[in-house]
């Protein structure tokens, strides 16, 4: 216990007065329109999204987006549509746990049109970490009966997470890849030989941090090994984080945000590193909507992580970043309340980027425990 303690921002705290009241009102209206759009796309089983493989993670992101605006789960008489929708989705996510503790799995996955062994391997640990994050964030907001179900599910999910962290890794890359997480099973040598990557690892670290916030047992060794892996992904010469250690060319804004956020969530304090990453955040704004700075970048995913990282750093970094960032998203919201499909993954539809856009706009609200500084 006690392994994950957030550190204060480098430029703590942010000055929210730099956002004028008119912009705050526009942000709130935009977020409410986005939530209304997502609500209209919920399936009868409580899920959201297009592909069966991705639905558990997309559903969890949608619910966290609603909670970030202050909607709490409830199915009591008189509860709002948003509150009832979160309950439906919560029950759906709880139903998507495999016997070994893996979250985000359902029998429908195996018969879906986009199922392949590689896709299953690739998406399941994303599903697992994002669903785990949602369950631990919502744990203290639910009725006792559902809280008990969440407790059982999260304990099993944490055990699965640790088994994945301790999985077999080829001896020649053991020192490089140990401590992190990636896809389930061994890597395809025809694609790459990474056993861990920062993208999956950052979601897992958020899950672990949220679980500890909620009172679950997260041993120190898990966090220590995870942070060691994240630090190996950092490139001091460029002040960026790569997809994997030793691959600085595989850096994106999303990975910069993910790596920076991991430092704060695990209590790592390195002023020089934080100064470099803060400078990079300010040097690479999001003023060109849905624009990829390189072919590896996912725009909305990157916006989500950078917005969280800027909030954690605080001060001048957040104050320079957030107002123009919010304007970009306000000006590019569709009339129906959605945001455009991810330019790199249009097949995921518009609910997914809409959830990420809301989560990128709402860190200042400080309503999700994982966002709190």
Q: Would you say residue 7 lies in a domain?
A: no
Tell me the average pLDDT across 76-101. Answer: 96
DSSP secondary structure string for all residues of 2-61: ----PPPPTT-S--GGGS-HHHHHHHHHHHHHHHHHHHTT--TTS--SSSTTTHHHHHHH
Q: Would you say residue 40 lies in a domain?
A: yes
Answer whether residue 370 shows pLDDT above 50. Answer: yes
Tell me the average pLDDT across 46-57. Answer: 93
Query: Could you report the per-residue pLDDT of 220-252, keeping only the tens digit for each?
Result: 899 899 999 999 999 998 999 999 998 877 899
Q: Would you say residue 11 lies in a domain?
A: no
Q: Would you say residue 101 lies in a domain?
A: yes
Chain mean pLDDT for the chain: 92
Structure confidence at residue 119 (pLDDT): 74
Answer whether residue 131 shows pLDDT above 70. Answer: yes
User: Cβ-count burial of 60 within 10 angstroms (0-12 exposed, 13-18 middle, 19+ buried)?
Assistant: buried
Can you give the CATH number for the domain in which 137 is found?
1.50.10.20
Decide: pTM greater than 0.85: yes
DSSP secondary structure string for all residues of 92-157: HHHHTB-TTS-BS--HHHHTSTT--HHHHHHHHHHHHHHHHHHHHHHGGGS-HHHHHHHHHHHHHH
Structure confidence at residue 191 (pLDDT): 63
Q: Would you say residue 275 lies in a domain?
A: yes
Tell me the average pLDDT across 293-300. Answer: 92
Share of the chain above pLDDT 90, in %: 79
Q: Would you say residue 8 lies in a domain?
A: no
Element (H or E) spanning 55, and its range? helix 55-67
Number of domains forming the structure of the chain: 1
Q: Would you say residue 259 lies in a domain?
A: yes
Q: Are 15 and 323 in contact (CB under 8 A)?
A: no
Structure confidence at residue 1 (pLDDT): 39
Answer whether residue 108 shows pLDDT above 60. Answer: yes
| Predicted confidence band of residue 105 (pLDDT cuts 50, 70, 90) | confident
Full residue range of the structural domain in which residue 120 is found: 16-371
| Predicted confidence band of residue 189 (pLDDT cuts 50, 70, 90) | low
Q: Would you say residue 3 lies in a domain?
A: no
């Amino acid at each position: 216990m006690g392994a994950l303690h957030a550190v204060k921002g480098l430029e703590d705290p942010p000055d929210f007065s730099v956002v004028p009241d008119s912009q705050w009102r526009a942000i709130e209206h935009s977020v409410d329109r986005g939530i209304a759009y997502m609500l209209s796309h919920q399936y009868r089983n409580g899920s959201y999204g297009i592909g069966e493989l991705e639905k558990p993670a997309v559903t969890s992101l949608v619910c966290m987006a609603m909670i970030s605006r202050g909607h709490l789960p409830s199915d009591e008489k008189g509860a709002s549509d948003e509150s009832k929708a979160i309950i439906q989705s919560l029950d759906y996510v709880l139903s998507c746990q495999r016997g070994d503790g893996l979250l985000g799995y359902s029998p429908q996955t195996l018969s879906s049109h986009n199922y392949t062994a590689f896709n299953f391997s690739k998406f399941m640990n994303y599903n697992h970490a994002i669903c785990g994050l949602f369950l631990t964030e919502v744990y203290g907001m639910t009725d006792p009966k559902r809280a008990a179900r969440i407790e059982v599910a999260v304990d099993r999910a944490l055990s699965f997470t640790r088994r994945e962290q301790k999985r077999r890794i080829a001896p020649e890359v053991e020192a490089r890849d140990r401590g992190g997480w990636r896809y389930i099973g061994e890597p395809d040598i025809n694609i790459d030989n990474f056993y861990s990557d920062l993208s999956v690892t950052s979601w897992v670290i958020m899950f672990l941090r949220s679980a500890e916030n909620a009172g679950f047992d997260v041993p120190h060794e898990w966090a220590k090994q995870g942070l060691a892996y994240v630090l190996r992904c950092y490139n001091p010469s460029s002040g960026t984080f790569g997809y994997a250690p030793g691959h600085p060319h595989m850096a994106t804004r999303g990975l910069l945000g993910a790596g920076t956020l991991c430092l704060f969530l695990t209590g790592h304090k390195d002023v020089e590193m934080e100064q470099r990453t803060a400078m990079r955040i300010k040097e690479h704004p999001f003023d060109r909507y849905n624009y990829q700075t390189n072919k590896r970048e996912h725009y909305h995913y990157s916006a989500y992580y950078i917005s969280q990282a800027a909030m954690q750093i605080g001060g001048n970094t957040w104050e320079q970043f957030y107002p123009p960032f919010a304007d970009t998203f306000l000006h590019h919201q569709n009339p129906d309340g959605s945001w455009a499909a991810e330019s790199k993954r249009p097949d995921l539809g518009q609910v997914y980027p809409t959830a990420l856009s809301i989560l990128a706009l709402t860190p200042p609200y400080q309503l999700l425990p994982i966002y709190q500084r």
